[in-house]
Structure 1
Amino acid sequence: MVGIRKRKDFFEDFGSELFDNLEEIIEALLEEMGESGPFVYGFSIIHRPGEDPELREFGNVPEYPQKEENFFPSETKEPLIDIFENEDMVHVLAEFPEIEKENLLLHATAQNLEIKVTGLSEFSEDVELPVPVDPKSAKASYKNGVLEVIFRRCVEEKPVEIKIS
């Protein structure tokens, strides 16, 4: 006789109370949104060795009224920012749903990109770049709530021998 295996719940493997009331939260958010239009909602979990997991929420969905348990920390939603690099370029992508292009201000140095949002939603972030870049080479575009800034990497000069006199 073949034994019957109990089917495991998908979220059981995560071993976290984080997902216990996810379905309730999604249903409440959808009910609150009604037929108002498109919305963006998401979260990312970053787990670095030796550190607690970091949960980042992003999107244009209003805060979910919570009881005693905090599913997400009640902090200002920060945009999701990713940095990609290759041999020649550094790409910075940031999501800003419902922000107008005119409300974005960018300032760059060889090591940092400062992103400011003005208007109704005030936000400021200083993004540390992984390698030195040429700030004058920056090209920025903004489409469908996604800001993309592309830099050329600085050509690292080879060490120069210094003669002692």
Structure 2
Amino acid sequence: MVGTRKRKDFFEDFGSELFDNLEEMIEALLEDMRESGPFVYGFSIIRRPGEDAELREFGDFPEHSEDEEDLYPPEIRDPLIDIFESGELIQVLAELPDVEKEDLLLHATAQNLEIRVLGAAEYSQDIELPSRVDPRSAKASYKNGVLEVTFRRCNEERPVEIKIN
């Protein structure tokens, strides 16, 4: 046969020494991760017509460091929060991973929603709502680390505590 040559295995060029300790390296990395706890990190980019794009980061991943040995999560996490408006409703979604429903406290006024997390990692965030709402109309649910609070638009002023289903 003319022009036939033997095909080399792709990994022959790399040499087996690169893969000899791969399993040990993976086990060591996983063990380091178990000791320092889980990391949660993400971001969203919001682009509204006529405005600059807004980048919002959330999670407990620390700032990047020159020394990778210093990568330890802080006690307080910044959740990703999105606000949606549709007709007569304002909906607030907050991602709060690893938080128990019993550790959440919500308070609302006509212009703001305060989310407080109690427990090992205390957290508090005051969210300005895009328009006035009736705090008594609030319905809240928390499932799989996502808090959803829905309001009806109104002109109410007094703060109200919200029960979570």
Give the TM-score of the pair, scaled to structure 2.
Answer: 0.58
Q: Which residue of 2 aligns with 1:100?
A: 100
Q: Which residue of 1 aligns with 2:159?
A: none
Structure 2 letter corresponding to 1:140: A
Task: Decide which structure has the larger Cα Rg and report it.
Answer: 2
Q: Which residue of 2 aligns with 1:142?
A: 142
CA-atom RMSD, angstroms? 3.7
For 1:62-81, list aligned pairs within 5 A.
63=62, 66-67=65-66, 76-81=76-81
Q: Which residue of 1 aligns with 2:57?
A: 56
Give the TM-score of the pair, scaled to structure 1.
Answer: 0.58
In 2, the alpha carbon distance for the partners of 1:118 and 1:150 equals 22
Partner SS, residue 99 of structure 1: coil
Runs of 4+ in 1 over 4 A off after TM superposition: 29-32, 45-55, 62-65
Q: CA deviation at 1:101?
A: 0.4
Structure 1 letter corresponding to 2:146: V
For 1:144-163, list aligned pairs within 5 A.
144-154=144-154
Structure 1 letter corresponding to 2:92: V
User: Structure 2, unaligned stretches of length 5 or more?
Assistant: 1-28, 156-165
Distance 1:80 1:92, change over 3 A: same
In 1, the alpha carbon distance for the partners of 2:30 and 2:42 equals 14
In 2, the alpha carbon distance for the partners of 1:85 and 1:51 equals 20
For 1:1-165, list aligned pairs within 5 A.
32-33=32-33, 40-45=40-45, 54-58=55-59, 63=62, 66-67=65-66, 76-154=76-154
User: Structure 1, unaligned stretches of length 5 or more?
Assistant: 1-28, 156-165
Contact 2:41-2:57 at 8 Å conserved across structures: no
In 1, the alpha carbon distance for the partners of 2:103 and 2:123 equals 10
Deviates further, 39-48 or 90-99: 39-48
Q: Percent identity?
A: 59
Deviations 1:100-126 (A, max 9, x none): 001000000111001101110111111
In 1, the alpha carbon distance for the partners of 2:153 and 2:42 equals 31
